[in-house]
Amino acid sequence: MTDSALRTQVGIIGAGPAGLLLAQILHLHGIDSIIIEAQSRPHIESRVRAGLMEHDSCQQMRDAGIGARMDREGLVHEGIILRFAGHSHRIPLTELTGRRVTVYGQQEVVKDLIAARLATGRPLFFEAPAIAIENTDTPKIHFRHNGTEKTILCDFIAGCDGFHGPSRASIPAHRMKIFERVYPFGWLGILAESPPASHELVYASHPGGFALLSMRSPRISRLYLQCAPDENLADWSDARIWDELDTRLADRESTPLPRGPILQKGITPLRSFVAEPMRHHRLFLLGDAAHIVPPTGAKGLNLAFADVHVLARAFTAWYQDNEADGLETYSATALRRVWQAERFAWWMTTLMHRFDNHSPFEARMQEAELDYLTSSKAGMTTIAENYVGLRLL
Ligand code: FAD
Ligand code: DHB
């Protein structure tokens, strides 16, 4: 052991929603962890990403003791709007499922989790990238911090380092099967200082492409436009973005969107991706490190939380009762839900976006499916029960 070696039970790479929630739940069960995060605290607290929390994700926040601000400030939604052919159709989520969703920005979730972590006094290193992983019977994580190299000695490694992190990359390619689909479009997303034009989220399918109206507060809108995957952000002036949103989000009654300063804009490519299995030896993958969904179903953050639910329970059984079953079945249990969410996100994406390679026949099929889904209780229920989130396994 070198001078700079640290010892813990679970070494966690990445302080996104997955790593932070896992650390918090483990702490509540008396299990020690160390978190290392490549970026600075201001960077991860200001990163604008997902915004919609499923019913059970909100309960996970409460159970972890960090639900108070979410319950005060989050916007509870009992329905969403699907808009196409100039008409709006409400899916009454709560009436159909008894469950609700909450709009609460991912960076607020991350802020709450960081505050809870710091209050425990247990280590969370920022600007501390993992540089090598030794996935042996005595696992080690090597990382850099303040110009020196340090090592974490641990029983298990939780790879919560997102899609581009080193955890998944450390697993030999022949031990892993990759499933992937890259879509021929991306999303241009903006955060704007303007009151949301609708109290409920609007998912719009339009000949010009998909658009989504969401929000962060009664004064801040979050809006998205389908765009080319290699779209140049510089080609999108603020006026062009608002004009395009007005066109695609219009229905017969709607007036132009209230415009305001655009606080942030960015382009996200759309992909579906799953790495199987989600465990190799003593390394467990969670969240975006193992899977990516296109954002149309609002599943990314929720799926990371669902992985945490399964792995935290497994670690608790291992450390409290010496019970290994949960660790052995982690990958299979988590993947079952992952594939359910992948299916829904792929289906919503296919249903709502404009595909340049669609034949006129396929375009009519899309219209007919939207018509069926919004005029049948069974159709609406299918959307609703997936959207509010399937039960945690
Ligand atoms: P992340 O949040 O990616 O966290 C991983 C962490 O690991 C990061 O903080 C990263 O800095 C850190 N890390 C990486 N490498 C290292 C290293 N070597 N050492 C230490 N730490 C490391 N989902 C939706 O549902 N709706 C959306 O609108 C939406 N928009 C998105 C926009 C973007 C640009 C991206 C990237 C994702 C978006 N998502 C969206 C998906 C959602 O945000 C993710 O599913 C969610 O963040 C997953 O959480 P995570 O903890 O698994 O990973
Ligand atoms: C948001 C993003 C999504 O992808 C989605 O489906 C719903 C809401 C959001 O950022 O608010």
Examine the pLDDT at 330 and tell me if it is beyond 90. yes
Closest ligand to C-alpha of residue 211 is 2
The Cα–Cα gap between 322 and 75 comes to 41
Which residue out of 224, 264, 268, 299 has the highest number of ligand 2 atoms within 8 Å of its CB and is therefore the one to mutate?
224
Ligand 2 pocket, 214 CB below 6 A? Answer: yes
User: 310-323: per-residue pLDDT in tens?
Assistant: 999 999 999 999 99
Q: Which residues contact 182 (CB under 8 A, 6 or more apart)?
A: 229, 269, 270, 271
Q: What does pTM read for this prediction?
A: 0.97
For residue 368, what are the β-bridge partners?
none
Ligand 1 pocket, 34 CB below 6 A? Answer: no
Ligand 1 pocket, 288 CB below 6 A? Answer: yes
CA of 251 to the centre of ligand 2 (A): 20
CA of 95 to the centre of ligand 2 (A): 21
User: 81-98: per-residue pLDDT in tens?
Assistant: 999 999 999 999 999 999
Q: Which residues contact 73 (CB under 8 A, 6 or more apart)?
A: 104, 108, 217
CA of 288 to the centre of ligand 1 (A): 6
Quick one: pLDDT band at residue 253, thresholds 50, 70, 90? confident
Quick one: pLDDT band at residue 1, thresholds 50, 70, 90? very low
Closest ligand to C-alpha of residue 101 is 2
Query: Percent of the chain scored above 70 by pLDDT?
Result: 99
Closest ligand to C-alpha of residue 104 is 2
The Cα–Cα gap between 290 and 286 comes to 6
Q: Which residues contact 72 (CB under 8 A, 6 or more apart)?
A: none
Taking residues 3-27, report their average pLDDT: 95
Which domains can be identified in the chain, with CATH numbers?
5-51+105-179+271-348 (3.50.50.60)
Ligand 2 atom at minimal distance to the Cα of residue 203 = 6
User: 163-191: per-residue pLDDT in tens?
Assistant: 999 999 999 999 999 999 999 999 999 99
Lowest-confidence pick of 22-26, 28-32, 125-129, 254-258: 254-258
